[in-house]
Structure 1
């Protein structure tokens, strides 16, 4: 509680010496020992240090991983990508856009055309200089009928990408005031493109690090790219390893033993106990990332909207937040626009556990006594199988027999998710509403994991994307959220927090960008090791 008495400037250490800090602390009754600890903690976060080898054990890796950014889905490759490659713009620690390979950008009058001026003197880790053709080819990788990119839907509005001197000009099919935010998508990285063909075979990029060892599903090792354009600002450790470790207990034990410095997704049931251990800190960031149970609507019985509504009323979201998240989250309402988004519609009535309504819709569907399989794995999220068992108990009074199938961790995202009819899933946060909607909730979204589509939603997504009047835009996004809540095929029981655990040897600024866990995925470049 003593720390709450300290002013933000004192805690950040701006323009204050240690002596003055201790004197100020004494004046407000903070003991010398406590004040010294605060100073040491403040010093750790305000003074980046160069050197060392950082090791992270992360959930979110697979033997199917590759350096082809079109296919990235888990946190291991996202972290590696953020460390080794760059985009035109970056999602900063303050959650604002910051220049990256583009030093500036500007739209035309209706935001249907954007001009990005490239930074000069940028070098790839293979020694090649960045050129406009590299950027153009890297963007076009995610466009067109032949593209296999998971971000294809994000960039489908791009009509052309051309060079104009040292600038890249992107013309859209319609206005989009948020377009630069879309370029922060973790698939959208610039790679060298000799002859106009992107080189995806290795870890070459303009990032602060370069890949020196790549073992899919095991580990990725990177070392400093000495000529990186951001080297004077970020990239503090000399090298790093990212280990793929699916088991949360194994990750936590490695952190406790001092074998690793960073882990993601600690077991939330024991996270607060873990934080009490000497030398370990929690990074707890409220987020728009959410947990989901998508249903394939081209498979019975999930083709019935009434049956889907029966399931929505038949599950208890409070239990998810209390028993699975242990309070590290907030109740969801079966749509992806979370409370941290600008256009979150908080006035839409909350779907609650209501067996009477569930029975009504179940009877209406004609599917009383249905038996359905639910596939889950800890790779989906920690506690996914446990929640399946909670759902089984919730639905039993309705006569629905839910069979919980524990799926293998390895290959879960390629063999189970988007393949089986009813599964456990989660979605990382995106910086703007249009991005998450375009990926999944439009009919032709590349990751439409329900096969559900609505012409009205498709129309509204496009209209909201180009609407510059914020009041009208808010109305459109509200209608989208309402339609997904009522008719969509995804149960969203909760929004979560991005929780990580780090060694006290790890230094951070204390400010963590969103867009993905672990400082937006940028932790390798933004965090450092203290001696």
Structure 2
């Protein structure tokens, strides 16, 4: 389910043994020095070119392919963004930036978008970039038989055509002010056109690195492309990505110096890792969040006051402290968290209040309430612990929660969207409309709460087409209020993206939070300090 969440897949990968981990991880408790919480370029005077980077990455599988339509996790996403570029990219400030397109312009109704290609860009095989390469690459994800994870994302495109060799015109079925953000999706790498298709399997791209070797689910080696167009980045001369899906083995590799950077640090180990002398933690706020969806068409969740009672019966501060280990932000029962552009920070925070929960139970005509809550660490690591904490806090409100632990295997197929009250989580999205369209429109495929509201639908569609930023902020604030006050999802918290780095690895002041490892762009944005 990594298209909807940042879940890690297992595969045929290079894994250090648990015994090796226990031997080397003893260093975690023995170090005397605490590394800086977040070290960046200013500590060493700025980026330095040269050197070799070794990355130990989760999210690899034996089925990995250079075909961007199949990308689904960090290992291949990072390779894709290293050897190729998108038409536009998500910057380190999480705003859309020029990439292969140097500029773009919408029509007044946001239904027609015209992108102007950057001149002088060549692929690593010497071929010049042209409009046909872009159109062919995008259409690989739109075809009737396409199985690309981006197919649904691009369903709003009616037509793509070129105007000469430098202009590309997208005609949308309806207005979308966020359309450029959709084109930052990690599937939408641009490859050279060959025989009417995007030549993904060759590994040829316009990126700052070329692929020297690739073993699916095992490793990849890369070399800096000295003719790449984006020469202000790309500091390392070369790099090796090693697939290490096991969390303990990844940590061991970092502590022992076998790799320089890792993704997805186990939050239970962060406090000890911070005491390792030559390792530092890099955590970045993101839009990834956790939900407890309630079927709004199924008793007792069809009663708004029963839902509000449950929302007041959960201790969000405890969720942040004990489940996220402090690496996140408290949620407010809607999906537009602090890392989003249109987050309404002035909306009052819902708090743990057993008395208010009892008030809503009484208003619902319920003296007490008993519900089954289905969860599994297959939903997210810590989901079962979170269920137990919820059970304990809800008891004080007269609510009995039966925590039913489901098998991790098959959780997303057998429990999510099947059980009326369960654990869920959503991966990062760059813009508000993406998560709202996926999960909060009445007819959304993944409307996990079955909540339907015609006014909410109208607001979501209106915000999508609105080009005026101030007006969009007003609409998105109204959306957040409706979901918080009338919706059917408890949102206890938003997660930070947590990475581990060797102390001499330099990073910019801002780090992209759209996905692990600087949004997958870490190889071209980070460096080794001299």
2:422 matches 1:399: no
Alpha-carbon separation, structure 1, partners of 2:200 and 2:148: 13
Q: 1:131 — aligned with what?
A: 130
Q: 1:12 — aligned with what?
A: none
After superposition, residues 50-449 of structure 1 pair within 5 angstroms as 50-58=50-58, 60-62=59-61, 66-125=65-124, 128-143=127-142, 147-165=146-164, 166-201=166-201, 203-211=203-211, 212-216=213-217, 219-224=218-223, 226=225, 229-230=228-229, 232-237=231-236, 238-247=238-247, 249-295=248-294, 308-358=307-357, 364=364, 368-377=369-378, 380-396=379-395, 397-405=398-406, 407-408=408-409, 423-445=422-444, 447-449=446-448
Give the CA deviation at 1:455: 3.3
Gaps of 5+ in 2: 1-37
Give the CA deviation at 1:113: 1.8
Structure 2 vs 1, CA of residues 456 and 45 (structure 1 numbering), >3 Å: closer, same or farther? farther
Alpha-carbon contact 1:57-1:260 (below 8 Å) kept: no
Of 153-162 and 459-468, the range deviating more from structure 2: 153-162
Give the CA deviation at 1:401: 0.8
Give the CA deviation at 1:241: 0.8
Alpha-carbon contact 2:370-2:402 (below 8 Å) kept: yes
Structure 2 vs 1, CA of residues 135 and 438 (structure 1 numbering), >3 Å: closer, same or farther? farther
Alpha-carbon contact 1:370-1:400 (below 8 Å) kept: yes
Alpha-carbon separation, structure 2, partners of 1:524 and 1:299: 48
Of 516-525 and 452-461, the range deviating more from structure 2: 452-461
Alpha-carbon contact 2:47-2:527 (below 8 Å) kept: no
Structure 2 vs 1, CA of residues 383 and 399 (structure 1 numbering), >3 Å: closer, same or farther? closer
Alpha-carbon separation, structure 1, partners of 2:450 and 2:64: 25
Alpha-carbon separation, structure 2, partners of 1:243 and 1:135: 30
Alpha-carbon contact 1:87-1:183 (below 8 Å) kept: yes
User: Alpha-carbon deviations, 1:258-315, whole Å to 9, x = none?
Assistant: 1221122323344243223211122132333322334566888767766544433332
Structure 2 vs 1, CA of residues 469 and 260 (structure 1 numbering), >3 Å: closer, same or farther? same
Alpha-carbon separation, structure 2, partners of 1:96 and 1:406: 39
Alpha-carbon separation, structure 2, partners of 1:525 and 1:257: 24
Give the CA deviation at 1:476: 1.5
Structure 2 vs 1, CA of residues 460 and 196 (structure 1 numbering), >3 Å: closer, same or farther? farther
Alpha-carbon separation, structure 1, partners of 2:297 and 2:84: 38
Alpha-carbon contact 2:293-2:489 (below 8 Å) kept: yes
Structure 2 vs 1, CA of residues 362 and 85 (structure 1 numbering), >3 Å: closer, same or farther? farther
Alpha-carbon contact 2:376-2:411 (below 8 Å) kept: no
Structure 2 vs 1, CA of residues 451 and 262 (structure 1 numbering), >3 Å: closer, same or farther? farther
Alpha-carbon separation, structure 2, partners of 1:399 and 1:232: 60
Give the CA deviation at 1:80: 2.7
Q: 1:30 — aligned with what?
A: none
Give the CA deviation at 1:480: 1.4
Q: 1:496 — aligned with what?
A: 495
Structure 2 vs 1, CA of residues 484 and 503 (structure 1 numbering), >3 Å: closer, same or farther? same
User: Alpha-carbon deviations, 1:429-470, whole Å to 9, x = none?
Assistant: 333322332343334546544554443333212211222333
Alpha-carbon contact 1:61-1:246 (below 8 Å) kept: no
User: Alpha-carbon deviations, 1:381-439, whole Å to 9, x = none?
Assistant: 4433322322233345512311123515xx87677766766554433433332233234
After superposition, residues 511-526 of structure 1 pair within 5 angstroms as 511-526=510-525
Alpha-carbon separation, structure 2, partners of 1:225 and 1:129: 19
Alpha-carbon contact 1:207-1:228 (below 8 Å) kept: no
Equivalences, count: 486
Alpha-carbon contact 1:385-1:406 (below 8 Å) kept: no
Structure 2 vs 1, CA of residues 418 and 86 (structure 1 numbering), >3 Å: closer, same or farther? farther
User: Alpha-carbon deviations, 1:155-212, whole Å to 9, x = none?
Assistant: 3332221111121111223443332222222232223443333445564433233553
The secondary structure found in structure 2 opposite 1:46 is coil
User: Alpha-carbon deviations, 1:16-71, whole Å to 9, x = none?
Assistant: xxxxxxxxxxxxxxxxxxxxxx999746461322231422233x445665545445
Alpha-carbon contact 1:265-1:382 (below 8 Å) kept: no
Q: 1:17 — aligned with what?
A: none
Give the CA deviation at 1:332: 0.3
Gaps of 5+ in 1: 1-37
Give the CA deviation at 1:90: 1.4
Alpha-carbon separation, structure 1, partners of 2:65 and 2:40: 41
TM-score (structure 1 length as normaliser): 0.79
Higher helix share: 1
The secondary structure found in structure 1 opposite 2:338 is coil
Alpha-carbon contact 2:306-2:361 (below 8 Å) kept: yes
Alpha-carbon contact 2:244-2:250 (below 8 Å) kept: no
Q: 2:25 — aligned with what?
A: none
Alpha-carbon contact 1:151-1:446 (below 8 Å) kept: no
Of 355-364 and 271-280, the range deviating more from structure 2: 355-364
The secondary structure found in structure 2 opposite 1:376 is coil
Of 156-165 and 135-144, the range deviating more from structure 2: 135-144
Q: 1:4 — aligned with what?
A: none
Alpha-carbon separation, structure 2, partners of 1:365 and 1:124: 67
